[in-house]
Structures are given as structure tokens and as C-alpha cells.
Amino acid sequence: MSTLSTRSLAGRTIVGFVQLIVLLMILLFGPAWTTRYWQAWIYLSVFSASTAMITAYLWWKDPKLLERRVNAGPRAETEKYQKVIQLFASLSFIGVLLLPSLDHRFFWSKVPLGAAVAGDFLVALGFLTVYVVFKQNTYTSATIEVVTGQQVVSTGPYAIVRHPMYTGALVVLFGTPLALGSWWGLLMIIPMAIVISLRLLDEEKFLSGSLPGYRDYCRRVKFRLVPYVW
């Protein structure tokens, strides 16, 4: 993988961040057909602040990892199977936002204030988990790959589950419908969890054959996503 110049990396990072926030605003307020949606504004603030702080940390402390993270999405994958998985992951994420927005517009369900606050807390907690993972493992690329010099990381959250970043992502996804005031939105967690599970199983297969020591690591750490569950 070629190294991006500092200016190019900064440009791609800023553009990607702005595009993400604009997409979130469209998905949150478009289907709701109103900007008078306080749950969405708070969620957007928590989401934006969390991603901005993680991005700033990577920019100052681990630009190589930031470079690996900006190259994401279906087009970035090299394997056809992963391209399909990433496509369904993108569609499922859209659904996680779209369904609560429609719920708000048509008053399908009503989430108590305490549950909405808990949802925002879960979103922040999930991003905190991702931040800890990034600090622990500089090889957490957005695509499935093994780079020169990569080693198995088995400390920190990796001593508990094999894929702590996906665990953090699921916490964010679970908190999102609650934060947005929608019980129905929780239904979208099912396809999202299936997609993540398929991706990590394929990732384990790839790493077992490509990363020395990974099979031994899998024998030591039994659980993939949730301790004592799976």
C-alpha cells in the first residue's frame, strides 16, 4: 500500500468526515421530514464528537493507522466476498438510521427519556471501546489484510475477545435506535449483527492462514465478540 502524503491524508480525512456527517443528517432528518427532532441532534453531536476525537488522536499519534482507516468501504476490499459483505453492512447501517427517522415521523413507538439517554451513553461507550482498540492495535485496517511486520495483538481488550472493535461497533449500533427514540429501529441490529459475524469469521479464516501465531491466539482466546456468549 502506497503511503499518502500528509496533505493528501488530511484532505481525504476531512472530506470523508464531512461526507459522513452530511449523510447522517440526510438520513436522520430527511425521512423524519423535520429538523425538530431533538434525539437526532443529540445523537449527531455524540457521534460527531466521538469520531472527531478518535480521528484527531490517530492524526497526532498514529497516522499510519489513520491511513489504513480512510481506505474503507466495498470498493476498498480486494475479495469479492468481502465486497458483498461490506455492501450489506453499508445498507444495514443506513437502515439503522432510516427506520428510527421514519418512526419519529409516523409515531410508531415512544422511547422514554431515560432509555434515550442510555442509548447516547451506549454510543459513546462503543466509540470509547473502538478508541481503546486503536490504541492497542495499530494494524486495525478498515480492510482485511496483513501488512509487513504485523504481529498478533493479545493484550488489552484482545485478551477478552478476538474482535473487540466489532464489539464496540455493535454497542454503538445497539445504542443508536434507543438514542433516536425508536424501539422499531432495534430490528436493524439483527441484519447488522449477521453481517459483522460473517465478516469476522472470514477475517479469522484469512488471518489463520496469513498471520503467524493467530491460530494459537484463537486457541487461547475462546470468545469472538461477547465474553462467555460467542
pLDDT per 10-residue tile (average), the chain, 230 residues:
67 90 97 97 98 94 87 71 88 95 96 97 97 93 84 94 96 98 96 94 93 95 94
Nearest to 176 by CA among 162, 168, 140: 168
Q: How many CB atoms lie within 10 A of CB 118?
A: 15
Residue 144 pLDDT? 83
Taking the C-alpha atoms of residue 95 and residue 126, their distance in angstroms, rounded to an integer, is 19
Taking the C-alpha atoms of residue 29 and residue 181, their distance in angstroms, rounded to an integer, is 13
Supply 155's cell numbers.
493484550
Residue 4 pLDDT? 57
Residue 32 pLDDT? 97
Query: Considering the entire predicted model, what is its pTM?
Result: 0.92
Terminal Cα distance for the chain, rounded: 33
Residue 107 pLDDT? 96
Taking the C-alpha atoms of residue 4 and residue 7, their distance in angstroms, rounded to an integer, is 8
Residue 72 pLDDT? 67
CA distances from 223 to 26, 35, 153, 161 (A): 37, 42, 15, 5
Alpha helices, DSSP H only, in the chain?
Answer: 6-29, 38-61, 63-70, 80-106, 113-136, 164-179, 189-210, 214-220
Residue 3 pLDDT? 52
Domains of the chain: 6-220 (1.20.120.1630)
Q: Ramachandran region of residue 33, left (φ > 0), alpha (ψ -120 to 50) or beta? A: left
